[in-house]
Amino acid sequence: MDFTPERLERYSPHILLNEVGGAGQRKLFDARVLVIGVGGLGSPAALYLAAAGIGTIGLVDADVVDLSNLQRQIIHATPDVGRPKVDSAADSIAALNPDVVVRPYRQHVDEDNIRSIVRDYDFVIDGTDSFAAKFLINDACVAEGVAFSHGGVGRFRGQTMTVLPGRSACYRCVFGAPPPEGAVPPCSRMGILGAVAGMLGTIQAAEALKFFTDTGQLLVDTMLTFDARDMKFRKVPVKADSHCAACGCRTAKAGAPEAGGGGPDAR
């Protein structure tokens, strides 16, 4: 996209940053980000990515908007109840920034379709609420060499890490395999302070923007956790596992550390 007077005004806060500037903003224009799950995490992430001028945003979600979603899923509004989430989110993005091209996928990701979807993007935001989906996203992104941000929330807590396939630990390095089905209840059953999802989703969006503009230090080989009750944040180092079923061979060739890390997934 060209820098029209309107775009110069819209994106001037980015352009004024030495770390971003006009060149960085052009990289954002050219970027393609896939948001899987347009819920508590995907809502703020998608809105901030759109506001930043990410050129193409893919939205994956098979669900419709429910009234209980509105406590935290801020990309949707009361009149959207009953509408497909991808349609509601696409309308919100268009209203916020008409520069952005939105690609809606009203479907669940599964082993048959996820790699064909992921490979069309440069970065993935994991906004899902099940362990099975998180491992599926991890394995597909590692196989396709697509960077992604893991995110998980529950009650008052959140956690996130950024994965650069072949260069860092992946989600499976840290957690190995999904827990037994039903062992960890979803937010709809355990509850969540709505703003906690906003905090985590915004961090995920920031990681994507840093990735494209090559700014600062990503949450690579690091799990960031926080508890909003006392606003304590913690960075936990994690390491690639040379025996990881998803990335072991790749990270070993890249010279990554061999020991695995661990910790509880709050989502």
H or E, element range at 147 = strand 147-154
Question: What one-character-per-residue DSSP string does 194-244 give?
Answer: HHHHHHHHHHHHHHHHHHHHT-S---BTEEEEEETTTTEEEEEE----TT-
In the chain, what is the straight-line distance between the N-terminal and C-terminal CA atoms, in Å?
37
Instruction: For the beta carbon of residue 15, count every other beta carbon within 10 angstroms.
Output: 17
Q: Would you call 247 a catalytic residue per the annotation? A: no
- Specify whether the CB–CB gap between 49 and 57 falls below 8 A: yes
Instruction: Exactly one of 173, 187, 244, 247 is catalytic; name it.
Output: 187
* Beta bridge pairs of residue 35: 59, 125
**What amino acid positions are annotated as catalytic residues?**
187
